[in-house]
Structure 1
Amino acid sequence: MILKLINKSISGTVIALCLVFMVGCSSNVTLKGSVDKSSNLKSKVNLQNDLLKSIKKAALQGKVINCDFPVYSTSIQHIQAEIGKSDKAASIPQIKNSKFYTYSKYNLVFGVKRDQVFEVRSFDNRLKQLPFSMVNKFLGHPEYNAVINGERIIGYTIIAENNGTKEKYKIKLEFVFSKPVKATSDPILNHYFVLDPRSTADDMANDPGIQW
């Protein structure tokens, strides 16, 4: 009888220890998972902030990221001499005597009027990690905010500086967000561009050009 009680006591102790060990392991796994998730989120936010900083820095030079050709002071001939001819060139009726040159390999599109670049668009793949809320938080309340064909477009005025002449001039920095899957979801950035409005004007035709 005593032996049975001892065996039961030992068995109970072993089971209890096993349960404690299992609970402890489970807690450690849960804690590690939470730490990893928090670390991954922090890394993602840091990458997003770094990308936004790069976008702003490039805009202050009249450029987009991964592009050495600023608006206003660059000709299409110079671009073609540096990176070759575009995949395609298309005119748009909204801007007279203009063409948009697409360079798919570089994820870039150049808007050109009278051989002068007035707009540079970036379709860099990294842009798709930026939601509307984060861009809005980083750059502040936009001067321009519109929804066109389901896409939200926001814009800011930036004072750019020519690296060579140090001339300062106003440009527009605009972001185009894809149509959200759900009405309540945070739109994701599709592409963005820098625009030099004065390069789209035509004084002879009394055309003020585009502002946004």
Structure 2
Amino acid sequence: MKKLLVPVLVIIIFALLFVGCTNSSNSSSDSSVEIINSNQQNSNSNNNNNNNNNNNNNSSNNDTKKSDSNNASHKDKNVSNNKNTNKKLDNKTEKLLKDIKEKAIKGEIIDYDFKLGASIDDVINKLGKPSSENYVAEAKGNYFNFDSYNLSFGCNKGDQIFEIRSLNKDLKSLDLNNVENFFGKPDYTVTTKLKEKIIGYKITKDFKILFVFNTSTYKLDHYSVLYPSITHNSMAGDNGREW
């Protein structure tokens, strides 16, 4: 009986060892598969990251191109605007502005020979009674308006003419760009509550010229020649007008 037990035990031991080796082999195989799968997942993840980076780079390049294109477009518009502002004056416009300047140097306006510093009586003797007369505190004087002649004269207390305004309808053809192209950068500029843009130039040591534009169209409404120093009123302590 003892002799039979020994071989049986040996067989059982070998059987157990065989089963253990098989499980170990399968476990090792499964582990290897898991490692391979893990490596493949990491590889796929890296590929995805690379693809994302490439997409981001492409997007960035596209944005840069768009930005460059927009900048170029803005530059083109600015150049175009400058060309429009500085375009050459036509002969008729240039002649009108030249006449305005030459007459202003003499203290006069176009179409008439009335002079700054003269008496308003000289005007009344030639044109007759004014359409209206009113005192304008901001302008420092009395204004005599001759509507049928498109003229207005500002006078000090001694009835000397310190401002002559022309409301000639031909002036409506002029705009702000025309005037600035001919006369250059203004010595004076202001926008009033009446929606008027006024620019001024020193023409001589004594005389100045003012252009008044409607801010909705920037077409010239009227212009005037000015003799500021005779608006001074020492008796009232008023230094008078500068523009």
TM-score with structure 2 setting the length: 0.61
Q: Does 1:171 align with 2:186?
A: no
Q: Does 1:134 align with 2:178?
A: yes
Higher relative contact order (CA 8 A, sep 6+): 1
Residue 149 of structure 2 aligns to which amino acid in structure 1? Y
1:108 lines up with 2:151 in the alignment? yes
CA positional deviation for 1:95: 4.7
Q: Deviation at 1:144?
A: 0.2
- In the TM superposition, what is the alpha-carbon distance from 1:146 to its structure 2 partner? 1.0
Partner of 1:207: 238
1:49–1:210 Cα change, 3 Å: same
> What is the aligned-residue RMSD (CA, Å)?
1.7
Aligned length: 155
Residue 52 (structure 2) aligns with:
none
Q: Deviations over 1:39-76 (max 9, x none)?
A: xxx9x82111110011001101101111211111x101
State how far apart, in whole Å, the 1-side matches of 2:99 and 2:128 are.
Answer: 26
Distance 1:200 1:85 in 2: 23
Give the equivalent residue in structure 1 for 2:129. Answer: 85
Instruction: Tell whether 2:199 aligns with 1:154.
Output: yes
Paired residue secondary structure (2:111): coil
1:180 maps to a residue whose letter is S
Q: Deviations over 1:114-138 (max 9, x none)?
A: 2110100000111100010110010
Name the SS for the 2:206 alignment partner.
strand
Mapped pair 1:193 → 2:232 = no
Shift of 1:100: 0.4
| Residue of 142, 160, 164 corresponding to 1:99 | 142
Question: Aligned equivalents of 2:137 and 2:177: distance in 1?
Answer: 32
Deviation by residue 1:130-160 (Cα, 9 ceiling, x = unmatched): 010110010000000111122110000111x
AA paired with 1:176?
A: V
In 2, the alpha carbon distance for the partners of 1:151 and 1:93 equals: 18
Provide the secondary structure at the position in 1 that maps to 2:129. coil
Q: What is the aligned partner in structure 1 of residue 102 from structure 2?
A: 57
Mapping 1:15-34, distance limit 5 Å: none
Q: Write the mapping of 1:31-42 to structure 2, written as runs, cut at 5 A.
A: none
The amino acid that maps onto 2:206 is K
**Which residue of 189, 210, 233 maps to 1:145?**
189
Pick closer, same or farther for the CA change 1:90–1:207 going to 2, 3 Å.
same
Distance of 1:135 and 1:95 partners within structure 2: 23
